[in-house]
Amino acid sequence: MYYSDYNRPPEDRDPVIETNQFHVYDAVPPKEKKKGGFGKFIAVGLCCAIIGGAVGGGGVWAVNRFGSNSTTIYEGTRPTAVSLANVDGKTVLSAEEVYASNLESVVGVNGNVTTNVWGQTVKNAVSGSGFVISSNDTASYILTNYHVINGVSDITVFFSDGKSYDATLVGGEEENDIAVLKIDQGNLRPVVLGDSDAINVGEDVYAIGNPLGELTFTFTGGYVSAKDRSVTMSDGTVMNMIQTDTAINSGNSGGPLFDKYGQVVGIVSAKLSSSSSSEASVEGLGFAIPINDVKDMVTSIMENGYVTGKPNVGVLINAVDESVQRYGVPAGVEIMAILDGSCAQKAGLQVGDIITAVGDTQVSTETQLQSAVKDYKAGASVTFTIYRDGNTSTVNVTLDEDNQERQEAMNQLSEEYNSQQQQSQPQQGGNYYYNFPFGNW
């Protein structure tokens, strides 16, 4: 099972993956989707072709489907709020009350991504969902998925009353798939963040989002199917998720998952889908990021533009191949390059060192090493067990903070290293030089 965002044109996508983003292709019609393997996790930020946009009043949208001369019209009136009484945040609400009390806090997220299609530069429209988490007199902040806005320009958000605003990216956390947007419009109504740890399997949950990028502010409901599901993403990252049978489709990514009190307990992010007509049909397997897992991160992004306290060692790494271990080299992760001025360099780590443990945790893969370091905050002193020149020893490393400046420096180191490797010799044994997280570690 894999996770992938669909902030890409069809020809570049994994054929099994959908997303809750929408892409528009003005130059060429989309290829027919191929069938792939069963059980793929799909991000639900939508890519689709919205040609007409809103037409007239009363919530009318015209969408031209490629490959057909007909135009499908979706007609409907804007939803009206029901009368709410004594809603104190802990009163169990009806589904209608959950929708009415949160509708004005949910947004659609639109933007453009530029891609190269058969040698031609094409600007594609993308769409997802989000929700207001904070608002003051002059500005408001919106939470969405990172995969909804990754690589996207000209971001706008729109509300159920038809108003839209230009949005800027405050910051994001790719590893945890969250991003915060800012709009210059104050005095909006934020959602109430609930307690995702307090929900129970079998409880009612609801989602508001923009499936297909067209059916805006759609309301769906279901149950909490499971908690603490470990979902493995395509890059090997494992995320903790709430599983729900609430209907989730492309365009829902970044939208809120509400509990029975009308409070946000999750961020809709992915679904599991069958990929072949010959395989068993998969329905009702949606996933949301527990809000408790990211509350502190969101606050950090709003205040600093990034998640503070994340550790970074300043090295490029590669797992020791099993063929090398036959000659007495221990399982571990080899240091391939070290950033000048990093904590790794200051601690005395060297290129060629093999890290076999972080603290009391044994590591033999890049993912294990990444996970072990994530247990610590920047500034912590951590004992690394290393193998060097036939001997095992320990080194104390005071972890650096992973911020934008460090990311840029590590990306540059990675580019330089890979360029040197290509010039000097081909990669041996098909090894790939992993850089964690997302380009560095």
Catalytic residues, by residue number, are 147, 177, 253
Indicate the SS3 state at residue 353.
coil
Q: How far apart are CA 79 and CA 96, in angstroms?
A: 11
Residues 6+ apart with CB under 8 A from 93: 87, 101, 260, 261, 262
Other Cβ atoms closer than 10 A to 231: 19
227: enclosing H helix or E strand: strand 218-232
Under a CB-based contact definition with an 8 Å cutoff, are residues 211 and 252 in contact? yes
Query: Which ranges constitute the DSSP H helices of 333-391?
Result: 343-347, 366-373
169: enclosing H helix or E strand: strand 164-173
CA distances from 144 to 90, 239, 291, 398 (A): 25, 16, 12, 33
Burial 327-339 (b: 16+ CB within 10 A, else e): eeebbbbbbbbbb
Q: How far apart are CA 172 and CA 176, in angstroms?
A: 9
